[in-house]
Amino acid sequence: MLPGWLCQVCRNRARWHHLPSRFFSWSPRQISRWNKPESTESSPPENPRVLITGGLGQLGVGLAQLLRKQYGTDNVILSDVKKPPAEVFNSGPFVYADVLDYKNLRELIVNNRITWLVHYSALLSAVGEANVALARQINITGLHNVLDLALENCLRLFIPSTIGAFGPSSPRDPAPDLCVQRPRTIYGVSKVHAELMGEYLHHKHGLDFRCLRYPGIISADTQPGGGTTDYAVQIFHDALRTGHFDCYLRADTRLPMMHIGDCHRATLEFLQASECQLSLRTYNIAAVSFTPEEVAQEIRTHLPHLRVTYTPDLVRQTIADSWPMRFDDSNARRDWGWKPVFGLPELVTDMLGAIREQRAREDLPAREGLPVS
Ligand SMILES: NC(=O)c1ccc[n+]([C@@H]2O[C@H](COP(=O)([O-])OP(=O)(O)OC[C@H]3O[C@@H](n4cnc5c(N)ncnc54)[C@H](O)[C@@H]3O)[C@@H](O)[C@H]2O)c1
């Protein structure tokens, strides 16, 4: 018998499944009697109510903007443990939320009638290796809090994974959705753990878990948070600032990358896909794949005098050498129609244009094709 307080969606999903242990720490009396199915046959479906954790990093603010356009500003709540800049604070709801604080997260979800949870908090690859204990806490303990809350509250839960979820024994060119995954970083280990826990809870308890393995994401107006692919953002800033870039990876290190616009659109389209479209719960998504030398060459079509030197950093080079060079994303393309827009030339043109605009706004000069003095 399923408890009567489960919403209809969860009742359907969980019919043949056992309930998780944290469910039994809830007395039915604690569950609001207003906790009814989100919509009935006669009422139009409500917009989702979205909470984004770790929302002040490279990806959260842009995704919030896109979701707010689609579903209304007040329906998308950004959260983080950092103080938001004024423009973010003034652009829509923001709350403090530490993913290690289960009770506070639960309160936010319940009080705001959250239906979709986008879990972005994480320590990324290079930062995680420098602080393994903290990475384990945020990426694994925080994940467990979020999984339990998603299950208790029948949420659609999106957690991004990464090229870092693969390791040296995985096929690298291309890496398929399903293959050996033995990553050698705490970041990768925690992301494989997230993929497996989410899928386990989906199959056992009907959790609506959704996961995309993002490539390295390239954005002009937000700074990357300490990953191995960060060079592919910095090169554009340095190209316009000084005309010289010193790369911490070897010139021939090929990695999958994606423009942030494609990343946000993929996330929205995947969140909107109906359950029957999804043959998997964790998908690779791909756009472009390039080496530092190839992106430098493409930038030189705009800034011919860009000079790039290479000083490989042992930690980040070792990480990059264990990651896929390309992603096979054929399942995402087939199941829910994924298709990127930005190839390398479009990505480079867009990045240079956006950073030029930023520099102009801040009254900073941009080196337009001048030789480095
Ligand atoms: N950016 C990429 O290239 C990339 C690639 C693959 C996957 N991803 C994944 O996408 C997600 C978002 O990435 P990002 O680049 O925006 O990351 P980021 O490092 O830029 O931001 C992460 C945010 O998490 C917050 N955070 C840290 N500890 C927290 C805590 N205890 N509680 C709540 N928030 C906390 C930080 O303050 C930060 O704002 C991550 O899960 C990451 O693994 C990103």
Residue identifier of the C-alpha nearest atom 41 of ligand 1: 120
Q: Model confidence over 230-285: pLDDT tens digits? A: 999 999 999 999 999 999 999 999 999 999 999 999 999 999 999 999 999 999 99
Pocket test for ligand 1, best of 51, 52, 56, 58 (most atoms within 8 A of CB): 58
The rounded mean pLDDT for the chain is: 90
Give the DSSP letter string of 101-160: -HHHHHHHHHHTT--EEEE-----HHHHHH-HHHHHIIIIIHHHHHHHHHHHTT-EEE--
Instruction: Name the CA radius of gyration of the chain, rounded.
Output: 21
Catalytic center residues: 187
How do beta strands 288-290 and 255-259 pair?
antiparallel
For residue 164, which atom of ligand 1 is closest to its CA? Answer: 6
Alpha helices in the chain (DSSP H): 8-14, 60-71, 86-89, 102-111, 125-130, 132-136, 142-152, 186-205, 231-241, 260-272, 292-300, 314-321, 330-336, 344-361
Confidence of residue 13 (pLDDT cuts 50, 70, 90): low
Pocket test for ligand 1, best of 51, 53, 59 (most atoms within 8 A of CB): 59
Query: How high is the pLDDT of residue 34?
Result: 38
For residue 82, which atom of ligand 1 is closest to its CA? Answer: 37
| Residues near ligand 1 (Cβ within 6 A) | 53-54, 56-60, 80-82, 97-100, 120-122, 124, 138, 142, 160, 162, 214, 216-217, 224-225, 227, 229
Q: Model confidence over 216-225: pLDDT tens digits? A: 999 998 888 8
Query: How high is the pLDDT of residue 369?
Result: 57
| Ligand 1 center from residue 225 Cα (angstroms) | 7
- Give me the torsion for CA of 99, 103, 105, 107, rounded to 10°: -170
| Ligand 1 center from residue 139 Cα (angstroms) | 10
**What's the CA angle centered on 95, arms 211 and 227, to 5 degrees?**
45
| Ligand 1 center from residue 27 Cα (angstroms) | 34
Instruction: Tell me phi and psi for residue 15, to 5 degrees.
Output: -45, -45
Residue identifier of the C-alpha nearest atom 9 of ligand 1: 160
Query: How high is the pLDDT of residue 361?
Result: 92
Query: How high is the pLDDT of residue 19?
Result: 52
CB atoms within 10 A of CB 328: 17
For residue 137, which atom of ligand 1 is closest to its CA? Answer: 31
User: Which DSSP helix (H) or strand (E) runs through 95?
Assistant: strand 94-96
Q: Give the C-alpha separation, 123 to 118, whole Å.
A: 16
Confidence of residue 42 (pLDDT cuts 50, 70, 90): low
Residue 229 has pLDDT above 60, yes or no: yes
Query: How high is the pLDDT of residue 245?
Result: 97
Q: Model confidence over 23-40: pLDDT tens digits? A: 444 433 333 333 444 445
Confidence of residue 47 (pLDDT cuts 50, 70, 90): very high
Query: How high is the pLDDT of residue 28?
Result: 32
| Ligand 1 center from residue 56 Cα (angstroms) | 8
Q: Give the C-alpha separation, 364 to 240, whole Å.
A: 10
Contact 227, 125 (CB under 8 A): yes
- CB-based contacts of 15: which residues, under 8 Å, 6+ apart? 2, 206
Residue 143 has pLDDT above 50, yes or no: yes
pLDDT average, residue stretch 83-89: 98
Q: Model confidence over 314-342: pLDDT tens digits? A: 999 999 999 999 999 999 999 999 999 99
| Ligand 1 center from residue 124 Cα (angstroms) | 7
| Ligand 1 center from residue 238 Cα (angstroms) | 24
- Report the percent of the chain where pLDDT is more than 90: 83
Query: How high is the pLDDT of residue 27?
Result: 36
Q: Give the C-alpha separation, 202 to 197, whole Å.
A: 8
Cα 81–chain centre separation: 17
Q: Model confidence over 148-184: pLDDT tens digits? A: 999 999 999 999 999 999 999 999 999 999 999 999 9
